[in-house]
Chain A
Amino acid sequence: GIQVEQSPPDLILQEGANSTLRCNFSDSVNNLQWFHQNPWGQLINLFYIPSGTKQNGRLSATTVATERYSLLYISSSQTTDSGVYFCAVKQTGANNLFFGTGTRLTVIP
């Protein structure tokens, strides 16, 4: 199956700092989603971004499908941004999303 690698695995930020999370994938995809899983286990949709760039408030994402990677940018981080960020992709013809192992973000005041 497709391989999905996320980096870094862990990240600690001071409140107000900016960060970039990376997702590399090993094959062509027709679906890529970024999720934030909060400390209560809830999985929140951030972006549906198989290609291109999107922005939503302090968050933005870019997927370069031809080079098989996606980036999630967090600006002016807040303590509520803490949690695990997952990248998930779906190959053409596949039935489901394959998840990366996530980036665990801790934002300290």
Chain B
Amino acid sequence: EADIYQTPRYLVIGTGKKITLECSQTMGHDKMYWYQQDPGMELHLIHYSYGVNSTEKGDLSSESTVSRIRTEHFPLTLESARPSHTSQYLCASSAQGWQPQHFGDGTRLSIL
């Protein structure tokens, strides 16, 4: 199975806090993605990156931001968490070309 890691696995935190969700992969993949998934629903892309210093917004609007300073690292940040941000966030990566995406285990975020 692919080597892509997300931390924390679960996070319960109060409104107004700054949050960073970590995602790292050891496969040297250029492409990385963040998806958001509400309970019982499908995944929607919120951010993607095709390489270092490249980030783009996905199909679903999100108040989060991302950065890609190193190939292996693609953190997602919420400057001021709100209850509406409660969801599961999944990170994925893929090689160049028509290659499958590999997913991390996700972070379940609950904002009180």
A contacts, CB < 8 Å to B: 1, 30-31, 33, 35, 40-43, 45, 48, 50, 86, 88, 90, 95-97, 99-102
Given contacts A33-B101, A42-B105, A48-B100, contact A99 B58 (CB under 8 A): no
Q: Is there an interface contact between B106 and A86, defined as CB atoms closer than 8 Å?
A: no
B29 to chain A, nearest CB (A): 14
Does B74 reach chain A (CB closer than 8 Å)? no
Interface residue stretch chosen among B19-27, B41-49, B65-73, B75-83 = B41-49
Known: A86-B43, A96-B48, A96-B59. 16 other contacts (CB 8 A): A1-B59, A31-B99, A31-B100, A35-B103, A41-B88, A41-B106, A42-B103, A50-B98, A88-B43, A88-B101, A95-B45, A95-B48, A96-B45, A97-B43, A97-B45, A99-B44
> Which residues of B sit under 8 angstroms from A30, Cβ to Cβ?
98
| Chain A CB within 10 Å, residue with most, of B37, B58, B99, B108 | B37
CA distance A50 to B100 in the complex (A): 10
A46 to chain B, nearest CB (A): 10
Chain B, Cβ-Cβ closest to A49:
B100
> Which residues of A sit under 8 angstroms from B99, Cβ to Cβ?
31, 48
11 cross-chain CB contacts under 8 A: A33-B100, A41-B105, A41-B106, A42-B103, A86-B42, A86-B43, A96-B45, A96-B48, A100-B42, A101-B42, A102-B42
